[in-house]
Amino acid sequence: MKTTGETIRAKREEKGLFLRHISYKLKIDTAIISKIERGERKATRKQIIMLAKILKLDKESLLIQYLSEKILYEIKDEELGMQALKVAENIIKYKVTKNK
């Protein structure tokens, strides 16, 4: 499974775009987008949405991938991470049904 950065890099290269083109459209330094692609820096939600548009990627899929990596980053070293994730899932389901 590719990381968000790998997905972005693959699509950028497939489209023949240079880092400088992407960085210009995002109004960020070229080094930052390079680090995002290599997984050394996390993009913001806004940047992910803009990247999906620029690269013509499915916005929802890219956001899901991005959010899953954010969650993984937070709990990967936690002994009780999986249990906490299951509890969080139940809480989200409860809140969604409560708000309907």
Amino acid letter, 71: I
Asked if pLDDT for residue 32 goes beyond 90, the answer is yes
Residues 92, 100: Cα–Cα separation, whole Å: 13
CATH of 4-98 among 1.10.260.40, 3.30.460.10, 3.10.20.880, 1.20.1440.60: 1.10.260.40
How is 17-38 classified by DSSP, letter by letter? --HHHHHHHHTS-HHHHHHHHH
pLDDT of residue 90: 94
User: What's the chain's average pLDDT?
Assistant: 95
Q: How confident is the model at residue 57 (pLDDT cuts 50, 70, 90)?
A: very high
Region 17-28: mean pLDDT is: 97
Name the pTM for this structure: 0.85
Asked if pLDDT for residue 56 goes beyond 90, the answer is yes
